[in-house]
Amino acid sequence: MPARADAVAAAPGRTSARRLATRLGTVALAILLWQLLTTGGVRFWLSFDTLPPPTAVLSALLALAGTGEFHRDVLASLGRIGAGSALAGVLGTVVGVALGRSRLAEDSLGTLVAITRPIPAIALVPIAILLFPTSEQGIVAITFAAAFFPVAVSTRHAVRALPASWEDAVRTMGGSRLHVLSRVVLPGALPGIVAGLSVGIGVSWVCVISAEMISGQFGIGYRTWQSYTVVDYPAVVAGMTVIGLLGWLTSAAVERLGRRATAWLPRGGS
């Protein structure tokens, strides 16, 4: 029996090792291509000869990583993303559930949501500067606005799609409206909430970096823009790389959380 279990376990292990190799190989290949294009000074419509090569970016990155300033910038950006997404997760869920379950909420709140949703969060920067006493609060508000709409809309869809019999079953057990919310609606809509959050966090990275470039005093977006104003191109690309890595890490974290929260969905292995 143990031998069989090992044989079964080995197959997925081998698959994930192969997939990891493919991922790393693809990144390595892209970096190699970048190195060849830049050091070769290729000018073929695009001017690669002015772009810093990966080796220069790597040394800029290493120099950056040693400074306390860099750590403060990374923590500042992560903090803004964390605060904005947490607010968006809570308020987006509350509004999404209200929109999904109440006609009054749909007609009142829903109309406001429908009108404000098409406005890109980054277009709120001037308003945020006006409204909030500090630029820090303004940046968090923009990050929140970016993640709020995906969460609210996705939650509303998930709530509407819940089978009526789940709610009826809890009500015929003597469950109150609060029980229906806590035992049926919230856990049932969780896959939708997580899906909205995973889209929202991607949009909030775009917005937090842009907002930092416009009005921040620190943060990885601000630092990248500063490097550009002093014409330090390797540091600009190093900043971009850090943004990419941070965005990827936060998305992976949300996705991991999502898989755990939705293990009960009918798809996937039992």
103 is a contact residue toward another protein (CB under 8 A): no
157 is a contact residue toward another protein (CB under 8 A): no
**Alpha-carbon gap, residue 205 to 136, rounded angstroms:** 15
**Alpha-carbon gap, residue 268 to 48, rounded angstroms:** 45
Instruction: State the binding string over 164-183 for another protein (x if CB under 8 A, else -).
Output: -xx-xxxxxxxx---x---x
**Alpha-carbon gap, residue 188 to 101, rounded angstroms:** 13
The tokens describing 3, both together, are 């031998």
Distance of closest approach, residue 162 Cβ to another protein, in angstroms: 10
Phi and psi, residue 176, nearest 5°: -85, 175
State the DSSP code for 134: S
| 214 membership: H or E segment, kind and range | helix 186-215
202 is a contact residue toward another protein (CB under 8 A): no
Nearer of residues 125 and 180 to another protein, judged by Cβ: 180
> Closest by alpha carbon to 76, among 194, 174, 197, 216?
216
Nearer of residues 57 and 159 to another protein, judged by Cβ: 159
260 is a contact residue toward another protein (CB under 8 A): no
Burial pattern 33-55, b for ≥16 Cβ within 10 A else e, equals ebeebbeeeeeeeeebeebbbbe
Q: Which residues lie across from 46 on neighbouring strands?
A: 44
Nearer of residues 123 and 265 to another protein, judged by Cβ: 265
Nearer of residues 229 and 270 to another protein, judged by Cβ: 270
Nearer of residues 157 and 171 to another protein, judged by Cβ: 171
Nearer of residues 165 and 229 to another protein, judged by Cβ: 165
69 is a contact residue toward another protein (CB under 8 A): no
Which one of the spans 150-158, 161-169, 214-222, 225-233 is the region binding another protein (CB under 8 A)?
161-169
Which one of the spans 18-26, 56-64, 90-98, 262-270 is the region binding another protein (CB under 8 A)?
262-270
161 is a contact residue toward another protein (CB under 8 A): no
Three-state secondary structure call for residue 207? helix
Distance of closest approach, residue 197 Cβ to another protein, in angstroms: 18
229 is a contact residue toward another protein (CB under 8 A): no
CA angle in degrees (0–180, nearest 5) for 255-259-262: 130
264 is a contact residue toward another protein (CB under 8 A): yes
Distance of closest approach, residue 103 Cβ to another protein, in angstroms: 16
State the helix-helix crossing angle for 186-215 and 233-261, rounded to 10 degrees. Answer: 170
Please give the residue ranges that form the binding site for another protein (CB under 8 A).
163, 165-166, 168-175, 179, 183-184, 187-188, 190, 264-266, 270
